[in-house]
Structure 1
């Protein structure tokens, strides 16, 4: 089957838009969370919110399967705009295809993963501590580690309790949980409290990964584990039966990581 082609009304003459084209900046496919004049971080946040919202909308997923497969996707955004929601729609219309613009994904130990999806305005975790840095900025899909022992962090359980969160619930959240926007990565300087940790070893750097605008899935999905920061399709956020219109339940298996993002 032909994959959809992404085009832009900004760079494409109306006479050159094919009959197979579908406008996705109006109607049911429009990103209701985006608005004119948004900053880049706000556009990333709108994209994350749209992807998580779409994952739980059976009517929208049905429309994507029936109306977008094999069709050209037309939007006012530039074709190479990674914060345009057409990237989400292209992934959901043809899961498993070669990526147009996939977000990054990160596996986080429990209960840290679930706490990353609590808004910082109510005390949620907005900093992930890593011993390595990345130049990547933008949406990050969050996966809770599944290992019964290695997937759980004792320090995270203690911190979860001190912050007044539901320890058993957050500790049980594994699989694909949602997404957030990675806005900054900097070396520890005794900052970002209470979530930013302090370097313990002089010869080992510690970096604070700062996240904003978390969005949690209404129903988590399942997939194979991985290490590092890797690109994954938006379709991992959607249950396989809903994604393919199949009556049986199943897990969404992400593709083999393409590369480690730097």
Structure 2
């Protein structure tokens, strides 16, 4: 199954706080389900900036130490992708907005993430998503 690494706390927000846009500098033609992998790396500064942004969106995120990292934490459906020069909601200006729906939590799967879209073996995912 296709997967995308997302730094925390953004990965958490996609699965648990209805973050319905993923901002990327590149478009995606794929439509359908994709695993959300919580990247292993997150600095305190990145976390603090994200926390402030999320608070502005009315979302209180967990403390950095309690966020899962280096694991696949959920599945979401990519339904569209559009470039936008305007910021709105979760979308940042000058980025491709990957529009997301139907976030689902799964039993976390320890996994090494990669840049871009990558594959996670289906048998590994089916064990925990069932």
**TM-score, scaled relative to structure 2:** 0.81
SS at 2:12 equivalent: helix
Q: How does 1:220-259 map to 2 (within 5 A)?
A: 220-237=108-125, 238=127
| Alpha-carbon distance between aligned partners in 1 of 2:82 and 2:115, rounded to the nearest angstrom | 21
How far is the alpha carbon of 1:166 from its aligned partner? 3.1
The equivalent residue for 1:182 is 78
Does the CA contact (< 8 Å) of 1:143 and 1:178 recur in 2?
A: yes
Q: How does 1:154-165 map to 2 (within 5 A)?
A: 154-162=48-56, 163-165=58-60
Pick 1 or 2: higher relative contact order, CA cutoff 8 A, min separation 6: 2
Change (3 A) 1:138 1:165: same
Pair 1:105-2:3 in alignment? yes
**TM-score, scaled relative to structure 1:** 0.43
Change (3 A) 1:169 1:147: closer
Q: Deviations over 1:46-100 (max 9, x none)?
A: xxxxxxxxxxxxxxxxxxxxxxxxxxxxxxxxxxxxxxxxxxxxxxxxxxxxxxx
Consecutive unaligned residues of structure 1, counting only runs of 5 or more, are 1-102, 200-205, 240-262
Pair 1:212-2:101 in alignment? yes
Q: How does 1:139-158 map to 2 (within 5 A)?
A: 139-149=33-43, 152-158=46-52
Rg: which structure is higher? 1
| Alpha-carbon distance between aligned partners in 2 of 1:127 and 1:170, rounded to the nearest angstrom | 24
SS at 2:63 equivalent: helix
Change (3 A) 1:112 1:171: farther
Length, aligned pairs only: 124
Does the CA contact (< 8 Å) of 1:181 and 1:212 recur in 2?
A: yes
